[in-house]
Amino acid sequence: MLEMINVSKRVGNELHIDNVSLKFERGSLNVLLGPTLAGKTSLMRLMAGLDRPSSGDIQVDGKSVLGMQVRHRNVAMVYQQFINYPGFSVYDNIASPMRLAGVDTAKLDKRVREAADLLRLTEYLDRMPLQLSGGQQQRTAIARALVKQADLVLLDEPLANLDYKLREELRVELPKIFAQTGAILLYATTEPHEALLLGGQSATLHQGKVTQFGKTIDVYNNPQSLTTAQTFSDPPFNTVALTKQGGELRFGNANVANIPQKINALNDGDYTAAVRPHHLSLAPSEKHSVAVQAEVGTSEITGSETFVHVNANGNRWVVLTHGVHRVNPGEQITLYVDPASLYLFDHQQSLVHAPEQYAQG
């Protein structure tokens, strides 16, 4: 078990990590989700022991490891760049951590070949790293991390520099590969959908703070703050300030009378409503009953989906809809919102209402 207790890291005048407390169990898969510069790498460096926290404690199985040197920590790390020893063959690269640890030759050979087999590198064992494709280079780096049989495996955006197809493949394989080792697996990513695909637990990071930590799907469905919600949404949540009065929600010049029971139970007052881009519709339906006027900014068609960027009463919104829809910049369109898909946050941006169908997680 790895535990971070009130850990902060200050560099100069900047607070890179702000009072973080996290607990990871053996054999667990954990995602660190946050935009660039949110502190994912800083946090990993602290866990690995490459940096010392300015305050707070890091404990493994209840014992502080702050005084322990990196090489004694039994940590493995894989980076966004493909890091291998440039002058070593793939075989020697995979063997390198064991050679440093003094593992005997027969055992070393067996483990290298097992790892190479698992990562489909067997036929490339004699090659030099730069003779490999990016995916194979990263597989080599992963194999190196694997043979180390580390207690803590840190994967810092390991797939970010790979092309789409390889990324899909490796993302499925990675958790499986490390699952048998019983290591604590940490995976840093900027992409919400990657966190969802990986599952496990997620910690959302924003400006050096952990805003929420829990089962990935729970964090996604019940973000406790607007910040967490935005970190875990790509494209971002569409937000609008609204007022609840009696049985009605008012925003701009629209009134919504037919509101869900649970929202009706809230106190009257000002709220921030947020709705996911794919919960907006370009066509009315029984559920999508609230109409909002908007002006089209731009639209992007990915093939199976259309992103429409609009200006709705001064709010910049994005609509994500299935299929190809042609809309022209400057065109006035009507969007339809399903009131049941609304998240509501109070004036402190804390969650007060999540959509019913997700509430159980």
Contact residues for another protein, defined by CB under 8 A: 45, 48, 50, 70-71, 75-77, 79-81, 83, 85-88, 96-97, 100-101, 128, 130
Exposed, middle or buried by CB within 10 Å (0-12, 13-18, 19+), for 228? buried
> 178: buried, middle or exposed (CB in 10 Å: 19+, 13-18, 0-12)?
buried
67 or 86: whose CB is closer to another protein? 86
Taking CA 264 as the corner, what is the angle to CA 277 and CA 288, rounded to the nearest 5 degrees?
35
Per-residue H/E/C for the chain: CEEEEEEEEEECCEEEEEEEEEEECCCCEEEEECCCCCCHHHHHHHHHCCCCCCEEEEEECCEECCCCCHHHCCEEEECCCCCCCCCCCHHHHHHHHHHHHCCCHHHHHHHHHHHHHHCCCHHHCCCCHHHCCHHHHHHHHHHHHHHCCCCEEEEECCCCCCCHHHHHHHHHHHHHHHHCCCCEEEEEECCHHHHHHHCCEEEEEECCEEEEEEEHHHHHHCCCEHHHHHHCCCCCCEEEEEEEECCEEEECCEEECCCCHHHHCCCCEEEEEEECHHHEECCCCCCCCEEEEEEEEEEEECCCEEEEEEEECCEEEEEEEECCCCCCCCCEEEEEECHHHCEEECCCCEEEECCHHHCCC
- Smallest distance from the beta carbon of 77 to another protein, in angstroms? 5
In this complex, which beta carbon is closest to another protein, that of residue 26 or of residue 71? 71
The residue (of 13 and 261) whose beta carbon lies closer to another protein is: 13
Nearest-approach distance from CB 278 to another protein, in angstroms = 36
**At its nearest, how many Å lie between another protein and the CB of residue 163?**
20
Give least dist CB 169 to another protein, A: 23
- How far apart are the two ends of the chain, measured CA to CA in Å? 25
CB of 46 to another protein, least distance (A): 12
Min CB(331)–another protein separation in Å: 47
Least Cβ distance, residue 100 to another protein (angstroms): 5
Tell me whether residue 45 or residue 111 sits nearer to another protein (CB atom). Answer: 45
CB of 71 to another protein, least distance (A): 3
CB contact at 8 A, 169 and 138 = no
102 vs 314, which CB is nearer to another protein?
A: 102
By beta-carbon proximity to another protein, the closer residue of 73 and 209 is 73
**CB closer to another protein, 19 vs 96:** 96
**Least distance between another protein and beta carbon 274 (Å):** 37
- Pick between residue 45 and residue 276 the one whose CB is nearest to another protein: 45
Of 97 and 223, nearer to another protein (C-beta) is 97
